[in-house]
Amino acid sequence: MDTTLVAPIATSVVLVAVVTLTWRVVNWVWLRPKKLEKWLREQGLHGNPYRLLKLGDLTEFFIMTKEAKPRPISLSDDIAPHVLPYHHHIINKYGKKSFMWLGPTPVINIVEPELVKEVMSNHRVFQKPHTEAAKMITLGLVTYEGEKWAKHRKIINPAFHLEKLKVIFILDEYTYIPLYEQMIVQYAYQSLENMLPAIYQCCRGMMDKWEEIVSAKGSCEVDVCPYVEELSAEVIARTTLGNSSEEGRKIFELQKEKIDSTLQLMLLIHIPGWRFLPTKANKRMKQIRIEEQTLIKRIVDKREKEMKMGEVSDDDDLLRVLLESNLKEIREHGNNKSHGMSIEEVMEECKEFFFAGADTTKNLLVWTMVLLSKHPNWQACAREEVTMILHEVLRLYPPVTFIYRATIQTTKLGNMTLPAGVHLSLPTVLLHHDKETWGEDAEEFKPDRFSGGVYRAIKSQVSFLPFSWGPRICIGQNFAMIQVKMALAIILQHFSFELSPSYIHAPFPTLSLQPQFAYDVLLAG
């Protein structure tokens, strides 16, 4: 090639690359958002105009969230303006058919039950958006879509069947439990008949600590959050990894550190490629991942070796059930490993058990104690019937404050036609506090609204979705409910409690809805 042509060709290539990149950026930050805005308004939706310099609505979103966070509220207040201030603001301003902008991406608020049902039923079209935060915390069933999600769900399902949970929660025959407490455990999860759950042993440790604290004075002020967190971690470690619970506790600590770090970096993680930069935080996150993988792989390898050798193990836990289900699926397809999960995928699912399980049960138990402290008359009722109380707690304080989906293709939703790439927000908190659905007493703690069961309490099937709904409903909801029922039954047998005057009510969503400050109660034996 003539060397005199090299420079012009190189210049042309660079120019084309610059023009292409510039076009893509302009299209991403301006042309496409304005086109989508016009489309959404033609569908009868209302919202703020797209504003490039304010990153859509992100600037106002973060300002309102920051202002709401430190502001305490009354237990009788509507929590929606506090935990989802911008969602609440936009819906109040523009109505139920509204949208907002998270950067150049429009997010439609879906609060009409029939539209919620349509979104949650059609999980192949309305999928979970891929986020950097999810990649940093864990991969697994919750983050997968399509065939991979279906395969993992099928393999994991047996671990959460009630028959399997009976075995996982059973105590060994030599464990002594006073007769009256056997009756409590039996009551707390009636479908387990006379099975005695392993959570009893974990809960007894917490009871012993509380009894030691209150024994001297008869009553005492205690922040129960650290104790409940420790209890949840112990239960998850034991039921997931069995006799490897010491390693389980270490994994839980690493998970907690990883989640805390991710939340602190929430703004930065949206920058493309940020997690690959050699920052101190990224180096620590990488180190945590290595430590997690090492601990879990050691346990998985040991359990696989036992299974191959045909050894009988005392460990009958979620990991063993998961490995057995995975092996069965592979064998049913002629030992084709592509029909099962890889060891790396099994390890990710174990991490997800820790991530989702401990956080959900901890906060459900804490919020239940908060509301029973405020309504002591219901403490007595909880000793006889706990299910409707937990349903009411989940209505008022759902673990996840909103559910996020995105369209992967042009699709119909109600009488609207939505293009691919539009995000949908289903604000659980607003649905659970909607007076049109629940009545004028929607902000009140009234467990008897669930006395006839969930479906008699609601006008629409999808007005109550603490564990999501449809094909992608939380696979571990029975697991979480069993744990909390058992723990609450045993706590109520030993203690009564009321809110301390120092308690500050400020629910705030991180990965799940939790108390922002200490939960101080007056415990009495």
CA separation (Å) from 370 to 18, 38, 314, 377, 495?
Answer: 58, 46, 37, 13, 14
Task: Tell me what pLDDT residue 310 has.
Answer: 73
Task: Tell me what pLDDT residue 187 has.
Answer: 41
Task: Tell me what pLDDT residue 185 has.
Answer: 43
- Percent of the chain's residues with pLDDT above 90: 53
- What mean pLDDT do residues 382-398 have? 93
**pLDDT band at residue 2 under the 50/70/90 scheme:** low
pLDDT per residue over 334-364, tens digit each?
999 999 999 999 988 988 888 788 889 999 9
Spatial separation of the C-alpha atoms in residues 287 and 298, rounded to whole Å: 17
Spatial separation of the C-alpha atoms in residues 257 and 353, rounded to whole Å: 16
Task: Tell me what pLDDT residue 195 has.
Answer: 35
For the chain, give every domain's residue range: 1-128+406-465
Binding residue positions: 474
> What value does the mean pLDDT of the chain take?
85
More confident residue, 165 or 55: 55
Enter the tokens of residue 197. 């759950």
Spatial separation of the C-alpha atoms in residues 262 and 469, rounded to whole Å: 27
> 196 with 202: CB under 8 angstroms?
no
Q: Cα 387 to the chain's mean position, in Å? A: 20
Among 4-13, 84-93, 508-517, the range of highest mean pLDDT = 84-93
- What mean pLDDT do residues 309-332 have? 80
Residues 6+ apart with CB under 8 A from 505: 72, 73, 74, 75, 370, 515
Spatial separation of the C-alpha atoms in residues 384 and 375, rounded to whole Å: 16
More confident residue, 183 or 31: 31
- What mean pLDDT do residues 426-452 have? 94
More confident residue, 328 or 174: 328
Dihedral angle computed from the Cα positions of residues 388, 391, 393 and 396, in that order, rounded to the nearest 10 degrees: -130
Task: Tell me what pLDDT residue 228 has.
Answer: 95
Number of C-beta neighbours around residue 250 at 10 A: 15
* 324: pLDDT strictly greater than 50: yes
**pLDDT band at residue 193 under the 50/70/90 scheme:** very low
CA separation (Å) from 103 to 25, 29, 232?
Answer: 13, 8, 37
> Which residue reads 């997968």 in tokens?
144
* 430: pLDDT strictly greater than 90: yes
pLDDT per residue over 236-256, tens digit each?
888 887 765 678 788 888 888
Half-sphere exposure of 198 (CA within 13 A, CB side): 23
**pLDDT band at residue 171 under the 50/70/90 scheme:** very low
- Which residues in 85-188 belong to E strands, given as ranges? 98-102, 105-109, 126-127
- What mean pLDDT do residues 280-309 have? 88
Spatial separation of the C-alpha atoms in residues 258 and 60, rounded to whole Å: 28
Binding residue positions for heme: 474
pTM value is: 0.88
Task: Tell me what pLDDT residue 510 has.
Answer: 84
Task: Tell me what pLDDT residue 249 has.
Answer: 80
Task: Tell me what pLDDT residue 129 has.
Answer: 87
Task: Tell me what pLDDT residue 352 has.
Answer: 86
* 82: pLDDT strictly greater than 90: yes
Spatial separation of the C-alpha atoms in residues 273 and 282, rounded to whole Å: 11
Spatial separation of the C-alpha atoms in residues 364 and 355, rounded to whole Å: 15
Task: Tell me what pLDDT residue 139 has.
Answer: 79
Degrees (nearest 5) of the Cα angle 117, 119, 122? 100
Q: Which amino acid is at 232?
A: S
* 524: pLDDT strictly greater than 80: yes
Task: Tell me what pLDDT residue 246 has.
Answer: 74
